[in-house]
């Protein structure tokens, strides 16, 4: 079945209610009505101060291949309602059969630092098509953005140390493993143990041996010597199978044997015990034996908090192998992105702006065909303003805090800025040149370097200013008042 999953059309990678709404649009004559949806998230993951957007490459692949084929239609046609009759009419299946993707998509490039309520993606086109894409777009962006953010947090702690992603065996299925490897690399990791990710994405791969290798021999030393004999150009020895300090001593013996053959001991790996103490002792032994350049690799359910603690304790680790707590986003396994209707054209060809009300202010959506303008000065990025592209900006634009209207900020006409959402598809045609995975990874580093260090701390991070342009804020307020009065 797993091979069949990746051979089939992915157009049904959606929730049933997307299809039932699509049917309703078609049946009521609204299928081609032009609409705008925004995809965004409400809170930063991990109680942090920033998020890395990731997954646009997958979105492009998905939309480029978007089709509802005969096998899909046969399955949709087999679905039944509560009366045991077909859920969808044959004529609706005929409509889907000839439907061509013709939406326009704007998105914030992968590797960009983003903030709550900012549209990561804006999709405009026939309401039926936009609706069908809600679930897959969220699926493709939510998880990868989560993992890229987790990886970027670990990179901040690691500084110049090497980061290796070891999470495939603990990932949520093969797709979770593959997308996690890609997102982790974009977020700042140096390599992966995932060979298929190396093949498909061009990510460097790393790995040597496990405890089973050591245990299969009569002695630890014999296992090390045998491994080094047959793979002398890839020797990092796992030293904690029996006794870590003794393991380091055995690794030094093998390191001297390697030097006699013209090779070097690449590293030793600690996978259990007191990593701070053991790494310090291992460093002493290695240095005294003349192996000052031999790496000390650490693993064992690490995350950014444990890494930070180990560094505070003076650990001598310079290569970090991270698995479970990275690829599963262990402390927050979902980003919580949403996809909301923001505008729809009426019979007169004018936009009717839409929002979702809620008793919770954070869940009230923002109307409009949105763009995000990021302002910057000589020190870096200073704030982001969400505005409606249908409303001309003139003079000094004013930004309002969406949760406290007394907090406003105006920007001079001379201040530098960039608009983050860029065209990806124009009426169904791809118009975007996708950067390489290496360029996207570099973008993350460059982006983070332009933000104040306060947003990058883990405890009580600084809140980066993000607000609504005043005309958009006023429109949203008026809509809220109007909708509440109509209840």
Tokens of 173: 């299925």
Look-up of token digits 């409303």: 391
Identify the DSSP state of 47: G
Calculate Rg over the CA atoms of the chain.
27
Question: Which of 313, 259, 262 lies closest to 291 in space, CA to CA?
Answer: 259
Residue 281 buriedness (CB in 10 A; 0-12 / 13-18 / 19+): middle
Which pLDDT score, from 0 to 100, does residue 226 have?
A: 98
Structure confidence at residue 319 (pLDDT) = 98
Q: How far apart are CA 113 and CA 110, in angstroms?
A: 9
Q: Give residue-wise pLDDT tens across range 154-168.
A: 999 999 999 999 999
Q: How far apart are CA 415 and CA 297, in angstroms?
A: 46
In whole angstroms, give the CA distance from residue 382 to residue 27.
48
| Global confidence as pTM | 0.96
pLDDT value at residue 393: 87
With contact defined as beta carbons under 8 Å apart, do 176 and 194 qualify?
Answer: no
Output the pLDDT for position 392.
Answer: 86
Predicted confidence (pLDDT) per residue in 1-58, tens digit = 455 556 678 899 999 999 999 999 999 999 999 999 999 999 999 999 999 999 999 9
- The C-alpha atoms of residue 483 and residue 339 are separated, in whole angstroms, by 20
* pLDDT at res. 486: 82
The β-bridge partners of 249 are none
How many CA atoms does the CB half-sphere of 43 hold within 13 Å?
Answer: 10
Q: What is the dihedral of CA 143, 146, 147, 151, to 10 degrees?
A: 170
Q: Please list the ranges in the chain whose pLDDT falls under 50.
A: 1
What is the number of alpha carbons within 13 Å of residue 359 lying toward its C-beta? 0
DSSP 473-487: HHHHHHHHHHHHHH-
Q: What is the DSSP letter of 450?
A: T
């Amino acid at each position: 079945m797993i091979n069949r999953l990746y051979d089939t059309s992915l157009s049904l990678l959606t929730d049933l209610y997307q299809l039932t709404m699509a049917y309703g649009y078609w049946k009521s004559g609204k299928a081609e009505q032009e609409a705008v949806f925004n995809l965004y998230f409400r809170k930063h993951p991990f109680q942090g101060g920033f998020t890395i957007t990731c997954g646009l490459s997958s979105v492009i692949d998905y939309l480029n291949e978007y089709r509802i084929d005969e096998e899909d239609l046969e399955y949709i046609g087999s679905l039944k309602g509560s009366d045991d009759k077909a859920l969808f009419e044959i004529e609706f299946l005929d409509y889907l059969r000839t439907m061509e993707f013709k939406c326009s998509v704007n998105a914030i490039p992968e590797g960009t630092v983003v903030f709550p309520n900012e549209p990561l993606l804006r999709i405009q086109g026939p309401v039926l098509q936009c609706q069908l894409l809600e679930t897959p777009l969220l699926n493709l962006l939510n998880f990868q953005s989560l993992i890229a953010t987790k990886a970027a947090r670990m990179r901040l702690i690691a500084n110049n140390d090497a980061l290796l992603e070891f999470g495939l065996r603990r990932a949520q299925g093969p797709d979770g493993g593959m997308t996690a490897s890609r997102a982790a690399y974009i977020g700042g990791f140096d390599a992966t143990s995932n060979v298929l990710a190396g093949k498909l994405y061009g990510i460097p791969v790393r790995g040597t041996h496990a405890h089973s290798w050591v245990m299969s021999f009569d002695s630890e030393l014999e296992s090390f010597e045998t491994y080094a004999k047959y793979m002398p150009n890839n020797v990092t020895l796992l030293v904690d199978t029996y006794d870590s300090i003794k393991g380091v001593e055995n690794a030094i013996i093998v390191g001297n044997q390697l030097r006699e053959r013209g090779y070097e001991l690449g590293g030793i790996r600690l996978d259990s015990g007191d990593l701070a103490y053991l790494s310090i002792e291992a460093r002493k032994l290695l240095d005294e034996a003349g192996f000052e350049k031999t790496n000390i690799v650490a693993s064992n359910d690490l995350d950014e908090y444990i890494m930070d603690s180990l560094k505070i304790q003076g650990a001598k680790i310079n290569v970090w192998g991270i698995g479970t707590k990275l690829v599963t986003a262990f402390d927050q396994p979902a980003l919580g992105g949403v996809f909301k209707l923001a505008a729809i054209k009426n019979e007169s060809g004018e936009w009717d702006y839409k929002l979702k009300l809620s008793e919770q202010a954070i869940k009230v959506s923002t109307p409009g065909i949105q763009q995000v303008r990021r302002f910057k000065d000589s020190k870096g990025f200073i704030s982001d303003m969400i505005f409606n592209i249908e409303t001309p900006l003139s003079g000094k634009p004013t930004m309002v805090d969406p949760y406290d209207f007394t907090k406003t900020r105006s920007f001079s006409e001379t201040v530098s800025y960039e608009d983050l959402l860029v065209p990806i598809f124009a009426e169904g045609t791809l118009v975007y040149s996708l950067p390489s995975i290496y360029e996207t990874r570099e973008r993350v580093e460059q982006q983070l370097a332009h933000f104040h260090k306060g947003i990058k701390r883990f405890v009580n991070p600084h809140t980066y200013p993000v607000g609504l342009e005043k005309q958009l804020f006023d429109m949203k307020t008026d809509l809220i008042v109007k909708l509440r009065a109509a209840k």
